[in-house]
Structure 1
Amino acid sequence: MTETGIEKFENALKCTKKGDYQKACVIFDDLILSSVSVYSIVSQEIFKISEWEYLQDITDCERKVNTDKPNFDGYMALGFLFKIAGNTERRNMFIQKALKINSINARVWREYGESEFHLGNIRQSLLHFQEAVNLDADDFISYEGIGLCFYYLDEPIKAINPLKKSMSLLQKNHIVMNHLAFILSELGELTEAEDLIKEALKIKASNNVYLDTYACILYLQERYQESLKTFEKILVNKPKEWEISWDILTQLYDVLGLHVKAKQIEEKLFL
């Protein structure tokens, strides 16, 4: 019988408490990567647990690692554990401890870049991702990180090449296709942006975020009826708040003379 995610997680906890840190790292990492079709530093759907539900187990794992001789795999195991628990501050702390033991490991630099990114320390995150690709030129995830850091540092033109590099290293990377399409649309490169998001939608046809990017591109191209149809597909899917550009949809309704609908969205946004 195949292990469930929870069973794998609990097995990794047992390995950590026994001091089998390398095995724990493998299990934790596999659990994270196998929970999504393509891993991304902004993945919303990776395997997660409640830290409070496993508080005693996590405390025991920390005690074991902290009382042992400093161990790279031990600190990495705790880094992965807190990644799954969603505790970015503690994840960051243990990744830094691992880095002090081995500073020429590309994976630890990537994990450091990810944790700093999620803490909002974008410039530091950029440096760590760049160090990761210096050590591993085939790390498509770190190239994604570099591209997103440049975007959030308000340098979208610099984001393009690292994102294209990431996509070249992992064909059919629909997440990076969406990143690129979104940024290119902001830069006015609407034809290339449309081609990319159509490729992403061939892989994930009902993904609300990708449909939203497509709807926004159509709006910018003044293809208003097509944009409306695409937004309506998203609304049928009952999107999460962050999966649809409510501001663009409001503007679209106004352009099409659907002022009552536009007003309803404005009221929704300001509730």
Structure 2
Amino acid sequence: MQVRSERTFPMWLGRLRTLLWGIPLLVVSCGTAPQLTLQGQESSIVLREVSHPQAYYHFLRGSLAELNNDGPKALEEYEAGLAFDKDSIFLKFRLAKLHFSMAHITEAVELAKKIPVGQVSNAAMFLDLAKIFAGAGDTGQALQVLTEGERQFPQDERMYLSHGTLLLNMKEFQMAEAVFHDLLVHLPGSAEAHYYLGIIALEAKTKQEAKEHFQEAIVLNPSFERAYLKLVALSEDEQDPQQAIELLEKYLQEINPHHREFRLRLVRLFISQHQTENALGHLDYLLQQNPDDLHAQVRKAQIYGEAGNFPAAIEELNAILRVRPNELRVRDFLGLLYEETKDYERAIQMYQANVAIDPTFFDSLLHLGFVSYRLKRNQEALSYLEQAVKLNPKRPEPYLLLGLTYFQMEKYQEAKAKLEEGIHQDPSNAELHFNLGTAYDKLDRFDAVVREMEQTLELDPEHADALNYLGYSYADRGINGEKALSLTQRAVALKPHNGYYVDSLAWALYKLGRIDEALETIQQAVSLVADDPVIYEHLGEIFLMREERDKAREAWLHSLQLDSTNEALKKRFRDSGFGEPIPALSHQSTLTP
């Protein structure tokens, strides 16, 4: 035992001596980690405030525990030290700060209140005490602490910034403004003061003043990122994207060419201005710096895709997948691009590959359902979409596509049921209500059609399809003529080049007896949609009302050429004295202006 004691005691003593000698260095080096130690000249504070040897010993053990991320042990040691030195401001503060970092807010505040602010002689202590009080919601006490801190340390910028930003968070803009102006009195070169005065000016809607403060902040601190971003945002808000571009380019050229977020912001601006070559150039720069920058790679593909250069976009995404085959969102995007090129089989392969890797990948299941619906592979569509519903029953898209698939299968009751399930999950979804209305139309439930269309328009007053559908439904039934006219006019105003909407408007005018206007309008519809049988059927009715029988006959023959199954029109043709309808090549030029 004697031998073991002689060997272990010097090792323990050596460790303690190392800790004692290293305390000043330890404290200074950890000053940037506010959860563990104070900033500044903590060692002198320790020696002054923790004068009792046993208290100092426990302080050292507590500090070591903090460095080892052992919060409970550190609390135990600091409390033990406080038992030897009950009046130690430093140990009370250290305990309060540690409690606060461990979310023991009540304990932290109780200890902080026991510290006489007038006896605090370290700027960092003021800042941390204010942080504790503010974090506990006692902003009044926090403000008192910071005011005293400013009095004792009038040249410490941090004191004013903490004071001013706390007031900003409290929406006390005038008081905050006074604090930042006071900071400029003591430190005229404070870029931060100008930055926050700019923020206050923005709140007051004085944009020019805000701009001047942000510009001054950059003069004082040329690398001040936040000030640059505020000026960029102001330029965008003022619809001056070129100014925003110049600001970002200046920063990248003069301050930091490797700032990724600034360069991506610049890319976004170039895209908004349709300057795709410039956007691609900056993305290429990012990829030169980091060839594995996934965001930049995908952004390039998006730019190519939006420009209609689908082969280039597809090549970009395939290049990513060759290196990162498990990037499911990239492959899903690739599937969408294959859809754009109408290469549906490859799109399906992409989505199926994703589902094979991750059967819970919702987006690819949804897209499989959509492509299958589009290709009229209805049973496959139903299977994929039901899986999607099970994965995410709150999302409206699978219910909508299930409804459309059943609609395509002419199973209107099932379509109605699925759309109603979707509305149960998402009552404010206008598309679900609209499509439910169309299902009710197929079920001869006109009262329900009106209800759902009106609900759609309540949710989205500019839902052009609903405006057209309800307006045409009224006109075709010969009811609510003025309302039908108003609804179809609103639809056409939203989409003036939609020939079907223009036809609905013409039909509403016809039903109101405004025949000349109806003819002029439906001829516009014919010029927009040259191959719709219903439009030509309506055109024939309008010509017949004008007693232009030859033109009426020709319009109806052309309608039957487009849809030879329209038995009702064949009967109307015979009943009008035109004989047996035998569709032939239509001389369309005689039917249009």
For Structure 1 versus Structure 2, the TM-score category normalised by the shorter chain is 0.7 to 0.9
Matches of 2:533 and 2:487, distance apart in 1: 18
Task: Return the index of the structure with the highest Cα Rg.
Answer: 2
Q: Indicate conservation of the 8 Å contact 2:304/2:313, yes or no.
A: no
- TM superposition shift of 1:145: 0.9
> Is 1:146 paired with 2:436?
yes
> Is 1:203 paired with 2:504?
no
- TM superposition shift of 1:227: 1.0
**CA 1:58–1:105 in structure 2 vs 1: closer, same or farther (change >3 Å)?**
closer
- TM superposition shift of 1:64: 4.7
Matches of 1:21 and 1:80, distance apart in 2: 18
Normalised to the residue count of structure 2, the TM-score between the two structures is 0.38
Matches within 5 A, 1:6-155: 7=310, 10=314, 18-21=325-328, 48-50=340-342, 53-56=343-346, 58-59=348-349, 61-65=351-355, 67-68=356-357, 70-73=359-362, 74-82=364-372, 86-89=375-378, 90-155=380-445
Q: Indicate conservation of the 8 Å contact 1:174/1:200, yes or no.
A: yes
- TM superposition shift of 1:260: 1.1
Q: Indicate conservation of the 8 Å contact 1:48/1:86, yes or no.
A: no
What amino acid is aligned across from residue 133 of structure 1 in structure 2? I
What amino acid is aligned across from residue 70 of structure 1 in structure 2? P
Matches of 1:112 and 1:19, distance apart in 2: 29
Matches of 1:152 and 1:177, distance apart in 2: 18
Matches within 5 A, 1:225-264: 225-237=516-528, 239-242=529-532, 244-264=534-554
- TM superposition shift of 1:163: 1.1
Matches of 1:77 and 1:12, distance apart in 2: 18
Give the gaps of 5 or more residues in structure 1: 32-46
Q: Cα deviations across residues 166-225 of structure 1 (Å, max 9, x unaligned)?
A: 122223222211011011223411111111111122222232111100111111112211
**CA 1:162–1:267 in structure 2 vs 1: closer, same or farther (change >3 Å)?**
closer
Corresponding residue number in structure 2 for 1:3: 304
Aligned length, in residue pairs: 249
- TM superposition shift of 1:86: 3.9
- TM superposition shift of 1:106: 3.2
1:190 to 481, 494, 498: 481
> Is 1:213 paired with 2:514?
no
Give the gaps of 5 or more residues in structure 2: 1-275, 277-302, 562-582, 584-593
The farther-off stretch of 196-205 and 67-76 is 67-76
Normalised to the residue count of structure 1, the TM-score between the two structures is 0.77
- TM superposition shift of 1:97: 2.3
| 1:245 partner SS | helix
Q: Indicate conservation of the 8 Å contact 2:403/2:415, yes or no.
A: yes
**CA 1:177–1:23 in structure 2 vs 1: closer, same or farther (change >3 Å)?**
farther
| 2:304 partner SS | coil
Q: Indicate conservation of the 8 Å contact 2:365/2:385, yes or no.
A: yes
The farther-off stretch of 139-148 and 194-203 is 194-203
Matches of 1:165 and 1:18, distance apart in 2: 45
Q: Cα deviations across residues 34-56 of structure 1 (Å, max 9, x unaligned)?
A: xxxxxxxxxxxxx7542xx3534
**CA 1:27–1:111 in structure 2 vs 1: closer, same or farther (change >3 Å)?**
farther
What amino acid is aligned across from residue 304 of structure 2 in structure 1? E
Q: Cα deviations across residues 206-255 of structure 1 (Å, max 9, x unaligned)?
A: 32111100111111112211111111222333x24237522222122122
- The structure showing larger relative contact order (alpha-carbon pairs under 8 Å, at least 6 residues apart) is 1
Question: Aligned-residue CA RMSD in angstroms?
Answer: 3.1
What amino acid is aligned across from residue 78 of structure 1 in structure 2? L
What amino acid is aligned across from residue 224 of structure 1 in structure 2? I
Identity of aligned residues (%): 16
What amino acid is aligned across from residue 4 of structure 1 in structure 2? G
The farther-off stretch of 164-173 and 70-79 is 70-79
Q: Indicate conservation of the 8 Å contact 1:140/1:169, yes or no.
A: yes
Matches of 2:464 and 2:491, distance apart in 1: 5
Q: Indicate conservation of the 8 Å contact 2:382/2:405, yes or no.
A: yes
Q: Indicate conservation of the 8 Å contact 2:510/2:518, yes or no.
A: yes
1:174 to 430, 455, 464: 464
